[in-house]
Amino acid sequence: MIWSKEETLSRKEIEKIQLERLQETVNRVYEKVEPYRKKMDEKGVKPSDIKTLKDLSKLPFVTKQDMRDTYPFGLFAVEKDKLVRIHASSGTTGKPTVVGYTQKDLEMWTECVSRIACMGGATEKDVAQICFGYGMFTGALGLHYGLENIGATIIPSSTGNSEKQIMYMKDFGTTLLVATPSYALRRAEVALSMGIDPKKDLKVKIGLVGSELLTDAMRAEMHKFWGEDMLVTSNYGMSELMGPGVSGECECLDGMHINEDFFIPEIINPKTGEVLPAGEKGELVITCIKKEGLPLIRYRTKDITRLIYEPCKCGRTFVRMENLSGRSDDMLKIRGVNVFPSQIEEVILNFDELGPHYEIIVEREGYSDMLTIRVELAKATDSFAELEKISRGVKNKLKIMLGLDAKVKLESPNTLQRFEGKAKRIKDLRSL
């Protein structure tokens, strides 16, 4: 089901809305947000210079660092008393980044998430269990209001207490799961250890996953545990921009539709900042054009993707962004080779003998980088030949995929750390 008529507007109509809203937003931040005015003045660009959508590239970028430098409310475009909610990012390095919403911002957010929930197959009949941590993190409340808005029944179970999560699923008849892919897989493991087969004993048929990359291999793994008929879609967002709901995958599973009446996407070369032609891969830059509280302009997401403008079979006209191939700051440079954890994940998930959890360790030995992958055995064996075959198989596949030699360490089941939120699977020990 398509939630809003905006999602099927013609390109011309979309661009008309975008330009109007962009001009309005740029005028407003120039007037109200001092750091923006300074940045624009430094670049010698005035709001009146924005005459077409192409002129967007004249505007300066905003980065996470800008948000930290103006912590907590420096980039806000409204008085503090107009805010009705505040969220903050996890802030893995130093101070968190703070985001604020006006009443209208919350309404827009709910609208955006309702759209992506419908893209993922949700209806008012669904019983949606939200396994994101409630709190300062935008994920849980974003999905919560969006799904409630379409009439689904919400189970705000948050994270943790594994057995109880499974009990709710079984007793309340959960049909839709909101989680990170790794958390959803972990729950399936817990269910199995309780003697409950998610495929047969639970009714979960829809997975709305986010906050972590969903690779094809990970999706296959989800199907293996939760059933072939489960519709698993990924959605995208980040607290700085609003939270989840910036874009989402429809049933065609061929990229995530960006809510273009609220966000303008651009793809840039992450090194030079230059805008790349349509269809090329690069860093995603997003401009918020309908937000009141924190309307970030040309925010550098650090996420690597490409935009797909060809029409989608689902009937929606909003541009799609390809499922992420990584984050520019997640990217590891090992012996001069660019490595995305998602590539390693894809290799591992292709081995039935291995579980879906892994850890990537990069160390420095002398002047050379050493890559070690820790994986868990999913099938027991009594044969060294078999074990040898698995680790050699992974090594060979990694060599083909990355052109790098890696050490593969087989571990017992449940040895590697499990994560309730975003999985932290990389240990880069080189910088220590």
Partner 1 sequence: MVAKQLSVFIENRQGRLHEVLDVLKLNKINILSLSLADTTEYGLLRLIVNDPEKGKDKLTFAGFSTMTTDVLVIKIDHKAGSLQGLLENLSDRGINIEYMYGLSVDGEDAFVVLKTSDLEEALQTLKKIGVTTLSTEDLKDIK
As measured in angstroms, the least distance from the Cβ of 387 to partner 1 is 7
If one counts every other C-beta atom within 10 angstroms of the C-beta of residue 193, the result is: 12
SS3 60: coil
Give the x-and-dash track for 319-358 against partner 1 (CB under 8 A): ----------------------------------------
Q: Map tokens 């209208």 to a residue.
A: 104
Nearest CB to partner 1, comparing residues 368 and 383: 383
Asked if 382 is part of the footprint of partner 1 (rule: CB under 8 A), the reply reads yes
Which residue in 409, 418, 422, 427 binds partner 1 (CB under 8 A)?
409
User: If we measure between CA atoms, which residue out of 129, 346, 123 comes closest to residue 251?
Assistant: 123
Segment interacting with partner 1 (CB under 8 A) among 146-154, 237-245, 300-308, 404-412: 404-412
Which residue in 92, 272, 412, 431 binds partner 1 (CB under 8 A)?
412
Nearest CB to partner 1, comparing residues 323 and 391: 391
As measured in angstroms, the least distance from the Cβ of 413 to partner 1 is 6
Rounded Cα distance, 88 and 239, in Å: 7
SS3 176: strand
Q: Please, what's the b/e burial string for 134-144 (b: 16 or more CB within 10 A of its CB; e: otherwise)? A: eebbbbbbbbb
Which residue in 15, 201, 411, 420 binds partner 1 (CB under 8 A)?
411
Phi, psi of 255 (to 5 degrees): 100, 160
Rounded Cα distance, 120 and 248, in Å: 8
Asked if 380 is part of the footprint of partner 1 (rule: CB under 8 A), the reply reads yes
Site size with partner 1, rule: CB under 8 A: 17
SS3 8: helix
Asked if 191 is part of the footprint of partner 1 (rule: CB under 8 A), the reply reads no
Which residue in 410, 421, 423, 425 binds partner 1 (CB under 8 A)?
410
Segment interacting with partner 1 (CB under 8 A) among 33-41, 127-135, 263-271, 406-414: 406-414
Asked if 375 is part of the footprint of partner 1 (rule: CB under 8 A), the reply reads no
Phi, psi of 206 (to 5 degrees): -130, 135
Which residue in 77, 324, 347, 377 binds partner 1 (CB under 8 A)?
377
As measured in angstroms, the least distance from the Cβ of 392 to partner 1 is 12
SS3 237: strand
Asked if 415 is part of the footprint of partner 1 (rule: CB under 8 A), the reply reads yes
Residue 132, C-beta contacts closer than 8 angstroms, at least 6 positions apart:
139, 140, 143, 158, 159, 178, 179, 180, 211, 421
Segment interacting with partner 1 (CB under 8 A) among 272-280, 334-342, 382-390, 417-425: 382-390
Asked if 414 is part of the footprint of partner 1 (rule: CB under 8 A), the reply reads yes
Q: Map tokens 């250890």 to a residue.
A: 193
Residue 78, C-beta contacts closer than 8 angstroms, at least 6 positions apart:
32, 100, 102, 292, 293
133 CB burial (10 A radius; 0-12, 13-18, 19+):
middle
Asked if 367 is part of the footprint of partner 1 (rule: CB under 8 A), the reply reads no
Rounded Cα distance, 230 and 216, in Å: 14
As measured in angstroms, the least distance from the Cβ of 308 to partner 1 is 42
Asked if 372 is part of the footprint of partner 1 (rule: CB under 8 A), the reply reads no
As measured in angstroms, the least distance from the Cβ of 374 to partner 1 is 10
Segment interacting with partner 1 (CB under 8 A) among 159-167, 281-289, 328-336, 387-395: 387-395
Q: To the nearest 10°, the Cα dihedral for 328, 331, 333, 338?
A: -90
Nearest CB to partner 1, comparing residues 272 and 412: 412
Nearest CB to partner 1, comparing residues 258 and 377: 377
User: If we measure between CA atoms, which residue out of 276, 230, 282 comes closest to residue 253?
Assistant: 230
Asked if 432 is part of the footprint of partner 1 (rule: CB under 8 A), the reply reads no
Interface positions with partner 1 (CB under 8 A): 377, 379-384, 387-388, 391, 409-415
